[in-house]
């Protein structure tokens, strides 16, 4: 079964990414009516790079499930956009999501502490919140639907004494925290600080390049990293330390293409090919722009001009 083969690839590396990607795409064409309609009569591709990528915007209008939607057990929703419409990702379970998230995080960022302080809401339909709940069971959530509690966050961070802690939040949440100049926060050795999501330009323009050195200065005893993910993907990319390039796991293919022609480009619109997306669609086209390096690492360059802002930081902005 294709799911079992992909699970083995995640765990052991047994198998070949290209072969698995082509097999998963063929299987999804048979089991995903929306994907079948999207590709139409196009022949099966011969190379994984030729697999048609579904724009993330279609998740607002289509189920895009490779199973009977009546069997949906988990729904993740995208952050809001200027149109006010939210996409929905439906899953039968989160087994592959959870497996891949932890494997790649620990391989590139190291051990995840058992205690957590989270600067984003614990929302049931948030993939970010789900990932953090999976990583850490003993957590304090410092934001909710009513807003981000900066005073509580500062007090909680200063109260950490002996045990390492996993601190996670959006770029905008960290900016709001750091601009209060309440640090540095002397977290115990072994602590991990994860920054995710861009600013998206909804409230104010802040140069993202300023956040990496500011965060490292504010958390001198911690390993400060960045995470890039999206609701439509089951896998994430990590930059360790923050400010470096992002690294994808072996089961996540990344391509940059010319946004107008779709031809390969060293710098361009990003497409992701996620083997862990068994329940939905393998290939996703984003509105994010990036540069792929010969090492396989990814440098994020922002959004395609004219694209709607979206992402985890919108959640905090919407709470204001």
Listed by start position, the domains of the chain span 2-76+251-303, 96-245+309-318
Question: What pLDDT does residue 311 have?
Answer: 47
pTM to 2 decimal places: 0.90
Question: What pLDDT does residue 306 have?
Answer: 59
Chain centroid to Cα 139, Å, comes to 20
Cβ atoms of 72 and 91 within 8 Å: the answer is: yes
Helices (H), 210-273: 211-218
Q: Per the structure block, which two tokens stand in for 56?
A: 């993330």
* Closest among 238, 197, 242 to 216, alpha carbons compared: 242
For residue 316, pLDDT beyond 60? no
> Any idea which of 49-53, 75-79, 110-114, 246-250 has the lowest mean pLDDT?
75-79
| Degrees to nearest 5, angle at CA 208 with 238 and 85 | 80
At residue 20, the 3 state secondary structure works out as helix
* Distance, CA of 318 to CA of 320 (rounded, Å): 6
Question: What pLDDT does residue 314 have?
Answer: 42
Question: What pLDDT does residue 201 have?
Answer: 42
* Distance, CA of 171 to CA of 222 (rounded, Å): 17
CA atoms within 13 A on the CB side of 1: 4
Give the residue-averaged pLDDT of 238-256.
Answer: 96
pLDDT greater at residue 84 or residue 232: 232
Give the residue-averaged pLDDT of 151-174.
Answer: 93
Question: What pLDDT does residue 153 have?
Answer: 93
pLDDT greater at residue 176 or residue 7: 7
Class of domain 96-245+309-318: alpha beta
pLDDT digits (tens, 9 = 90+) for 86-115: 899 999 999 999 999 999 999 999 999 999
């Amino acid at each position: 079964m294709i799911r079992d083969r992909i699970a083995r690839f995640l765990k052991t590396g047994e198998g070949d990414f290209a072969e698995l990607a082509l097999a998963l795409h063929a299987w999804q064409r048979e089991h995903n009516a929306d994907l079948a309609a999207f590709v139409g009569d196009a022949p099966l591709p011969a190379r994984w790079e030729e697999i048609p990528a579904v724009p993330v915007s279609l998740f607002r209008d289509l189920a895009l499930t490779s199973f009977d939607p009546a069997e949906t057990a988990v729904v993740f929703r995208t952050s809001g956009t200027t149109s006010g419409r939210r996409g929905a990702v439906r899953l039968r379970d989160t087994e592959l999501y959870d497996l891949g998230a932890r494997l790649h995080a620990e391989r590139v960022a190291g051990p995840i502490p058992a205690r957590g302080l989270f600067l984003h809401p614990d929302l049931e339909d948030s993939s970010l919140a789900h990932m953090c709940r999976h990583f850490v069971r003993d957590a304090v959530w410092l934001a909710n639907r009513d807003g981000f509690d900066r005073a509580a966050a500062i007090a909680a961070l200063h109260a950490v004494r002996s045990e390492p802690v996993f601190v996670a939040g959006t770029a905008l949440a960290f900016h709001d925290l750091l601009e209060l100049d309440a640090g540095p926060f002397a977290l115990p050795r072994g602590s991990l600080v994860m920054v995710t999501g861009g600013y998206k330009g909804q409230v104010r323009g802040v140069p993202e390049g300023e956040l990496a050195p500011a965060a490292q200065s504010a958390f001198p005893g911690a390993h400060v990293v960045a995470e890039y993910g999206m609701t439509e993907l089951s896998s994430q990319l990590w930059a360790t330390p923050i400010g470096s390039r992002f690294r994808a796991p072996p089961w996540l293919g990344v391509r940059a293409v010319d946004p107008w022609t779709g031809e390969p480009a060293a710098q361009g619109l990003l497409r992701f090919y996620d083997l862990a997306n068994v329940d939905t669609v393998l290939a996703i086209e984003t509105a994010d722009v990036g540069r792929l390096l010969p090492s396989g690492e990814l440098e994020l360059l922002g959004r395609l001009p004219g694209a709607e802002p979206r992402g985890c930081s919108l959640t905090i902005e919407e709470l204001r």
